[in-house]
Amino acid sequence: MADLYDKIGTDNDLKRVKDAQSIGMYPYFRALSDSEGTTAIIDGKEVVMLGSNNYLGLTTDPRVREAMIEAVKRYGTSVTGSRFLNGTLELHLQLDKRLAKFVGKEAAIVFPTGYQTNVGTISAMVGKGDFVIVDKDDHASIVDGCFMSRGEMRRFRHNDSGSLEAVLSKLPTEAGKLVVVDGVYSMGGDVAPLPEIVEICKRYGARIMVDDAHGIGVTGEGRGTAAHFGLTDDVDLIMGTFSKSFASIGGFIAGSKDAVHYIQHRARSLIFSAALPAPNVATVLKALDIIESEPQHVQHLWENANYMRNGLKELGYNVGQSDSPIIPVILGDDFRVALAWHALIEEGVYTNPVVPPATPPNGGMLRTSYTATHRKEHLDRALESFKVVGERLDFIPASGEEAAQIPS
């Protein structure tokens, strides 16, 4: 008789995890004892933090902290119910309106997490007989939303408008169609070619949803990828999260009043989950105040990102097609990634190792990301560490040598 637990002892991936743990080379679920934002403490050692999505550095802003503290004093720590029933506060409605205005849409509604936003929105909008068309590099929450819908999913090659058109051209004209893309891709840091995507979607009668988890607060002077391209009115649904630029947790979907009204009455992940606690809502509202009134934070973010991108390129690293504060350092196979990650930790730099299936085969990388609050000494320290580690492991040429061959 089969036992459900049989798979635990025979899972080859888990065996590799245990092997890596036994030699101290397992990079995931590592506990930080402190995190100031630009630096962190791991195993008692201070490291420059290049693994955070705290793009504007607002998680440690005293004004944001104070807003959360005051909300705890007034509202407590939880709303103990869903938005659908007793969990909607006037504070939620205020944030809904502020976010809609911020991204240039008629309406918005806040979800407990970004993951639930994508899962709830897609499964609500895409029904039996509909099609949802996604970029192959779309976030896992988008894919899971497709699986949970009753429609059919189709994929197109990453940022390939011709591939998108080829997929759409084969679908029945009478079917509803939703194209979902990331605004800024969370691993490669490249930006979706929205002008081309919009033109193709209009030609085939498809609606467009942009997951701007890594675009809100970053691109378009902080208002996102659609704003960056001047296409806010042409994108039907804009999704954003609070765990990056907004110093909190949660997510939202914005669009027309009718679309948002439909989603809030159909999205199971909204209806059957407790609402975002008031302290988190207050945090986002204060972060919004700062983003709208102090544009220098976005400016500093881009200055830091461009400085590091140029510096890594000059050292000889392959940073792919990054055009954002997410900068991958592409190294190839898993072993090279693990070696580089471990060596950089020893040198005092924290990065995120990413390997297949989160990347293409032989496309393993160190994912680095930057904040507005990184100082030049942080960035120079990181570049020096990348130089030392890269030369020691023969990933980049030593000073005066010709460039090494680093996989694309």
Give the per-residue pLDDT at 26. 85
* Residue 326 scores a pLDDT above 70: yes
**By residue range, what is the domain housing residue 35?**
13-59+295-392
401 falls within a domain: no
Task: State which of 293, 313, 338 marks the end of a domain.
Answer: 293
Give the per-residue pLDDT at 401. 57
Residue-wise pLDDT tens digits, 169-194: 999 999 999 999 999 999 999 999 99
CATH number at residue 111: 3.40.640.10
Contact yes or no for 391/362 (Cβ under 8 A) = no
Q: Please provide the DSSP assignment of 190-252 as one string.
A: -B--HHHHHHHHHHHT-EEEEE-TTTBTTSGGGB-HHHHHT-GGG-SEEEEESSSTTSS--EE
pTM metric for this prediction: 0.94
- Residue 131: its H or E element: strand 131-135
Give the mean pLDDT of the chain: 94
Instruction: Give CA–CA dist 49/95, Å, rounded.
Output: 30
Q: Please provide the DSSP assignment of 29-75 as one string.
A: SPPPSEE-SSEEEETTEEEEE-S---TT-GGG-HHHHHHHHHHHHHH
Both tokens assigned to 95: 């944030």
Residue 275 and residue 385 in one domain: no
Instruction: Give CA–CA dist 184/321, Å, rounded.
Output: 11
Residue 202 and residue 82 in one domain: yes
Give the per-residue pLDDT at 324. 97
Residue 311 and residue 267 in one domain: no
Instruction: Give CA–CA dist 138/187, Å, rounded.
Output: 10
* pLDDT classification of 33: cutoffs 50, 70, 90: confident
Residue-wise pLDDT tens digits, 61-91: 999 999 999 999 999 999 999 999 999 999 9
